[in-house]
Every structure is written in structure tokens, then in C-alpha cells.
Structure 1
Amino acid sequence: MFWLLAFLAYLLGSLSFAILLSRLTGSPDPRGSGSGNAGATNMLRLAGKKLAILTLIGDLCKGLIPVLIANGVGLDPRQQAWIGLCAVIGHLFPLYFRFRGGKGVATAAGVLLGLYLPAALLAIAAWLLTFYLTRTSSLAALIATPLTLPLLAWQEPQVLMPMTLLTLLIVWRHRGNLRDLFAGRERHF
């Protein structure tokens, strides 16, 4: 059951709501416009609030649904976390879109929502506060995601390994943003 759910989570994660919504509405492909990222922030820049919110909800659900299903069939939290990680990997490297996906932040938030609500709330609060203070989405993501690891280590230690890998993947996907942040060139809202 674990391997089947992990595979299905990857396939679900591979659905890119930013790309699908842009195609349905005739908006520019987010991978070729704006920041080049297939995620909610770039959709906000390219297509407006409505499509950005729909992208955010879709990407969040891609992480949440597989974890809830894994929980529902009785898999332990560690297995649920690995399944959630597969959904994030699908978002980062989508099978359906030539492995060119987003940065995984909203999908990771969905995984956290399913695994441990206090960690998800901490990440969301940290993201919102950082974004409010800096108007920089990438910096907010880079602060919010690793911030949850100590709480998970303390309250849910069995999920620490997959969530650490998830965090490292998100940081790696933001490496260009890190370069721009250090050089003072990162985009602000």
C-alpha cells in the first residue's frame, strides 16, 4: 500500500495548477514568463489574484490529500511524511510537464497541514510575517520551511528525515533566489 500511495502522490504532485490554469485561461505559461516558476507567486504576477489563489489551493491540496489518504488507510506518520515528500517531488519535477515544475512551497505546506497542524501554522505565520516585513516571497519561503524542523523534531521525530529532505529540496530549488537575495536583486512585491 505504501509504494502505491507514494507513486500516486508523485503523479498527483505532477499536476501543475499554474500551467493548467494558464492554458485554460490563455495566460502566459509561468515557466516562460515572470520569474519562470510554475507557482502561485508567479501566477499572481502574470495572471492576477484569482488564478494565483486557485494555484495556491490546488498546490496545497496536492500535498494535503496524499497525506490524509495515507493516514486514512492506517499508515504511520513516518510513512505519511514520505508519501507527502513524493507529492512535493512531483511538484518540483512533474512527469506531465517535462520535469519543469515549481518550488514546492505550497505543496509542502499541504504536507505539513496533513502531518502536524502546529508546524503548518508556524510555517504559515512565519511566511506571512516575513512577507509582510520584506515583500519578498522567496525569503519568506526560505525562512518558514526550515523553521518547522525543530518543532517537528520535538513533537513528531519520526517525520524529521523526510521533512528535512523536503526542506533541503525547497532550499535547493530557491538557489537562484538566494543568489539574487545576496546580490540585492531579488524581486519584491
Structure 2
Amino acid sequence: MFIVLFLCAYLLGSISFAVLLSRHYGTADPRQLGSGNPGASNMFRVAGKRLAILTFLGDLSKGLLPILLASWLGFTQHEQAWIGLAAVVGHLYPAFFRLKGGKGVSTTAGMLLGLYPPAALLALSVWLLTFYLTRTSSLAALSALPLTLPLLAWQQPQALLPANLLTLLLVWRHRSNLKDLLAGTERRF
């Protein structure tokens, strides 16, 4: 049963709400404009606040729903963490979009919310404070998630390995943002 839910989480993660919403509402494909990232931040740039919020909620639910289902089915925290990681990997490398996905921030937030809500609240607080001070979404994400995931692993030690892998994946997916941040050319809001 674990393998089935793991694969379903990956497939759910592979759904790109940014792409589907842009098609449904007839707006530009976010992969073709702005940063080229099919996520909430770029949707805000290319399609406006409403579609950005819908994208955020859709991506958040991709990380949250598999965790809630796994918990309801009685899976351990360790298994839930792996299932959440599968959803995030689906968002990063989606089966439906030639393995070209988003940065995974909202989906990871949903995973955190399901696994350990205080970690999700801390991540949100760090993200909001960093964004308020810098107006840079990528810096806010790079500040919030890598700082919060170890807290999750500390409070939920069974999630240590999946949380560390997730941290590495998120930093890897933000490598171009890191280069731009260091060069002083990163996009701001």
C-alpha cells in the first residue's frame, strides 16, 4: 500500500496548477514568460494575483493531501515524510510536463503543514519576514525552507532523511536564483 500511495503522491505532484490555470483562463503559459517557473511567484508576474493565489493553493494541496491521506491510513511519520517527498519530487520533475517543473516551495509548505504544523508556521514566518525586508521570493524561500526542515527533522526524527533530501533538492532547484542573488541580478517584487 505504501508504494501505491508513494506513486500516487508523485503523480499528484506532477500536476502543474500554473499551467492548467493559465490554459483554463487563457493567460500566457508561465513557462514561457517571466522566470519561466510554473509556480505561484511567476504566476503573479505573468497572470496576476488571483491566479497566483489559486496556483499557490493548488501546489500547497499537492503536498498536504498525500500526508493527510497517509496519516488517515495509519502510515508512520517516516512513511508520511517519504510520501510527502514523492509529491514534491513530482512538482519538481513532473511526469506530465517532460520533467520540467517548479521550485517546490508551495508543495513543500503543504508537506510541512501535514507533517508538523509548527514547522510550517515557522517557515511561513521566515518567508514573510524575508520577503518583506528584501522583496525577493527566492531569497525568502531559500531562507525559510532549509532553516525549517531541520527543525522538522529534530521534532520528528523519523523524517530526518527525507527532510535532508528535500533540502538538497530545493537548494539544487534554486541554484540559478543563488547565482542571481550573488550577482545582484535576482528579480524582485
- TM-score bracket for the superposition, by shorter chain length: over 0.9
Aligned length, in residue pairs: 189
User: Quick one: distance in 2 between partners of 1:171 and 1:3?
Assistant: 26
- Equivalent residue for 2:157? 157
Partner residue in 1 for 2:177: 177
For the pair 1:40 / 2:40, whether they are aligned, the reply is yes
Distance 1:56 1:153 in 2: 24
CA distance in 2, matches of 1:38, 1:152: 27
- Identical amino acids, percent of aligned pairs: 69
Per-residue CA distance 1:28-66 (angstroms, 9 max, x = gap): 111111000000000000000000000000000000000
Structure 2 segments unaligned to the other structure (5+ residues) = none
1:110 matched to 2:110? The reply is yes
SS at match of 1:89: helix
| TM-score, normalization by structure 1 | 0.98
Q: Counterpart of 2:16?
A: 16
The 2-side partners of 1:150 and 1:64 are apart by 19
Establish whether residue 5 from structure 1 lines up as the match of residue 5 from structure 2.
Answer: yes
With structure 2 as the length reference, what TM-score do the two structures score? 0.98
Task: Give the whole-Å Cα distance in 1 for the aligned partners of 2:114 and 2:95.
Answer: 24
Distance in 2, Cα, partners of 1:104 & 1:23: 21
Which amino acid in structure 2 is aligned with residue 156 of structure 1? Answer: Q
Letter in 2 for 1:76: T
After TM superposition, the structure 1 = structure 2 runs for residues 44-59 of structure 1, keeping only pairs within 5 Å, are 44-59=44-59
Where 1:126 maps in the other structure, the secondary structure is helix
* Aligned alpha-carbon RMSD (Å): 0.7
Is the 2:150–2:163 Cα contact (8 Å) retained in structure 1?
no
